[in-house]
Amino acid sequence: MKPGAMIIGTGSALPSRVLTNRDLEEMVDTSDEWIVQRTGIKERRIVGPGESNSKLAVEAAKKALEEARVSPEELDLIIVGTLTPDYLMPSVAVLVQKELGAVRAGAFDLSATCSGFLYGLSVADQYVRVAPERKILVIGSEVLSTKVNWEDRTTCVLFGDGAGAVVVTGSRDDRGVLSTHLHADGSLWHLLTLKGCGSLYPPCGKELPREEYFIRMQGREVFKNAVRAMETVALEALESNGVQPEDLALVIPHQANRRIIEALRERLGLPPEKVFVNLHKYGNTSAASIPIALDEAVREKRLSPGDLVLMVAFGGGFTWASALIRW
């Protein structure tokens, strides 16, 4: 397929406070050994005073714009994938729009959990296929630490905060997004939830038990579904473009669990150096995980022009997605 959106700048932002597995040992009945063995996570970043979802998003966006040499006034659209906005109203996207001074841009948040960034990239891809001169900021930004039950050891060890951003415009050559594939299965919504504070259960705290105001997960079931869905949507991306796994220069998977990433790597038959992993530093940052990883891969010079990059995500809902890009 002809390429659509070309990524011309990336950026990321992380809170300065580090929460290690050792710190968690003081908070819940867990151990560094258990967390590393079962997840691969060693530490995560947590917002402190003065930090917020929109502030992280703005910081990541500024870096991406600078690298892209695009001014905020040139932006046509801002899309923020997030499940932890500062407020239910206004969106993070309009706070970013205001802070950047992106006076011409439309702005909206997109709710697709950990697949939010790839869903957002897919929307941007469609926009620039119609009008290649458009410039779009796609951000994944999360403050999951405010939605984690710090008394629940089965979830609180997994998540972290952060933001990643890309600027895209229409492809001028053979480089850019070759395809995106989006999927969802709402029949399994109950396996990963955050029920409280929506309109069904407003935040008076009376209708629901306390734990329902935080992320709840049936980890083993989520794990099995994540492995299956990520493999399937990765192969779908390759098959629809006539690409073999060995043609890939780099896979950037959603950073939820090292064992999920390993299963994907083995299914694709790739060596470890072709699969980007940074979850030991940040844990699962949901919609932010892929754009943070992409930004780090760029800064580590892991990508060269013409390389094939596969991004794969899975999250609550369930939602899952892939994007194949010629870099």
The distance of closest approach from Cβ of residue 261 to ligand COA in the complex, given in angstroms and rounded to an integer, is: 10
DSSP classification of residue 284: B
Under rule CB under 6 A, residue 41 binds ligand COA: no
Under rule CB under 6 A, residue 160 binds ligand COA: no
Burial of 201 (0-12, 13-18, 19+ CB in 10 A): middle
84-92: long-range contacts (C-beta < 8 A, 24 or more apart)?
84/53, 84/142, 84/143, 84/144, 84/146, 84/147, 84/286, 85/53, 85/54, 85/109, 86/52, 86/53, 86/54, 88/197, 92/53, 92/54, 92/57, 92/139, 92/141
Site string for ligand COA, 241-260 (x = CB under 6 A): ---------------xx---
Kindly tell me which residue out of 20, 154, 193, 232 binds ligand COA, with binding defined by CB under 6 A: 154
**Contact (CB, 8 A) for 140 and 12:** no
- Taking phi first (over 0 means left), then psi (-120 to 50 degrees means alpha), and beta for anything else, what does residue 205 get? left
Under rule CB under 6 A, residue 222 binds ligand COA: yes
Under rule CB under 6 A, residue 165 binds ligand COA: no
- Round to whole Å and give the CA distance between 109 and 259: 30
Q: Which of 21, 53, 114, 181 is catalytic?
A: 114
Q: Name beta bridge partners: 311.
A: 252, 323
Under rule CB under 6 A, residue 84 binds ligand COA: no
Site string for ligand COA, 114-153 (x = CB under 6 A): x--------------------------------------x
- Mind spelling out the 3-state secondary structure of 135-181? EEEEEEEEEHHHCCCCCCHHHHCCECEEEEEEEEEECCCCCEEEEEE
Q: Between residues 96 and 279, which has the closer beta carbon with respect to ligand COA? A: 279
Q: Between residues 75 and 313, which has the closer beta carbon with respect to ligand COA? A: 313
Active-site residue 204, yes or no?
Answer: no
Under rule CB under 6 A, residue 42 binds ligand COA: no
Kindly tell me which residue out of 90, 132, 219, 245 binds ligand COA, with binding defined by CB under 6 A: 219
- Round to whole Å and give the CA distance between 294 and 302: 9
> CB under 6 A: which stretch of 9-17, 100-108, 217-225, 262-270 binds ligand COA?
217-225
Q: Which of 21, 181, 254, 257 is catalytic?
A: 254
Active-site residue 114, yes or no?
Answer: yes
- Round to whole Å and give the CA distance between 282 and 304: 25
Under rule CB under 6 A, residue 314 binds ligand COA: yes
**Contact (CB, 8 A) for 113 and 191:** no
Q: Between residues 39 and 53, which has the closer beta carbon with respect to ligand COA? A: 39
> CB under 6 A: which stretch of 103-111, 194-202, 215-223, 240-248 binds ligand COA?
215-223
Under rule CB under 6 A, residue 39 binds ligand COA: yes
- Provide the angle, in degrees to the nearest 10, between the axes of the packed helices 116-130 and 289-299: 70
- Beta-carbon count within 10 A of 249 CB: 16
Active-site residue 284, yes or no?
Answer: yes
Kindly tell me which residue out of 173, 220, 246, 306 binds ligand COA, with binding defined by CB under 6 A: 220
The distance of closest approach from Cβ of residue 182 to ligand COA in the complex, given in angstroms and rounded to an integer, is: 15
The distance of closest approach from Cβ of residue 22 to ligand COA in the complex, given in angstroms and rounded to an integer, is: 13
Which positions are catalytic? Answer: 114, 254, 284
State the residues that interact with ligand COA by CB under 6 A. Answer: 30, 34-35, 38-39, 114, 153-154, 157, 217, 219-220, 222-223, 226, 256-257, 284, 314-315
